[in-house]
Chain A
Amino acid sequence: DIVMTQSPLSLSVTPGEPAAISCRSNQSLQQSNAHKYLDWYLQKPGQSPQLLIFLGSNRAPGVPDRFSGSGSGTDFTLKINRVEAEDVGVYYCMQGQQIPPTFGQGTRVDIK
């Protein structure tokens, strides 16, 4: 199975400041068609997960443009330009390059 490693595991951010979460895989998530088989999900407190970013860098409908995804191969990053109070929760990356799909451990983001 592909192992996904996120860092940091927790992040405390001042509102309006940027934040970044790293996600690394032990195998490349980029196929010859150049697609990057990585999604980002956010699970807000007490809620189900929600899709933020798909195929590495594409924002899902309705996701604010302060969220961006980047990276290639085995190294990916989720950035939040200016963190807002509503962004608290646990962020997960997930690879779909290979079955079984596997998630990172999650990164908990809270507000200072």
Chain B
Amino acid sequence: EVQLVESGGGLVKPGGSLRLSCAASGFTLSSYSLNWVRQAPGKGLEWVSSISGSSSYISYADSVKGRFTVSRDNAQNSLFLQMNSLRAEDTGVYYCARVLRDPVMKMDFWGQGTLVTVSS
């Protein structure tokens, strides 16, 4: 069974850092690109970042470029999002999602999400 489980969210002060993880199981991680998508409280979906199976292709939304870094460890079946210089507007639920059609489309499995709250 395909599963994606995010962790690492929490409360952090503005300017602080968090590292999110997404543990994958039930499929060969290296064969798939992965997206991070976030959702501010009561708002819609916003794409954050994408990383290809071999990490050769990485892209970021302008709103996080230079502050967030996506990475993956296929041997450990894990995806990561290092978030630095956090701002209040980064608050929301962060989902990891498997991509079936590179580079970003057809997200067929999503995790349950992890909540990030940036507040003083």
Check B110 against A101 for contact (C-beta < 8 Å): no
Q: How far is the CA of A106 from the CA of B44 in the complex (A)?
A: 6
Query: Chain A: how many interface residues by the 8 Å CB criterion?
Result: 23
Q: Given A96-B104, A96-B105, decide whether A103 and B110 contact each other with a Cβ distance below 8 A.
A: no
Check B47 against A51 for contact (C-beta < 8 Å): no
A30 within 8 A of B: no
The contact string, 1 if C-beta is below 8 Å from chain A, for chain B 73-109, is: 0000000000000000000000101001101111110
Check B62 against A100 for contact (C-beta < 8 Å): yes
The contact string, 1 if C-beta is below 8 Å from chain B, for chain A 20-36, is: 00000000000000000
Q: Which of B37, B47, B61, B106 has the most CB of A within 10 A?
A: B106
Q: Given A41-B45, A48-B95, decide whether A54 and B112 contact each other with a Cβ distance below 8 A.
A: no
Of residues 23 through 58 on chain B, the ones whose CB sits less than 8 Å from some CB of chain A are: 37, 44-47, 50
- Which residues of chain A have C-beta atoms less than 8 A from B106's C-beta? 39, 51, 54-55, 60, 96
Check B44 against A101 for contact (C-beta < 8 Å): no
- Which residues of chain A have C-beta atoms less than 8 A from B47's C-beta? 94, 100-103
A-binding residues in B (CB < 8 A): 37, 44-47, 50, 59, 61-62, 95, 97, 100-101, 103-108, 110-113
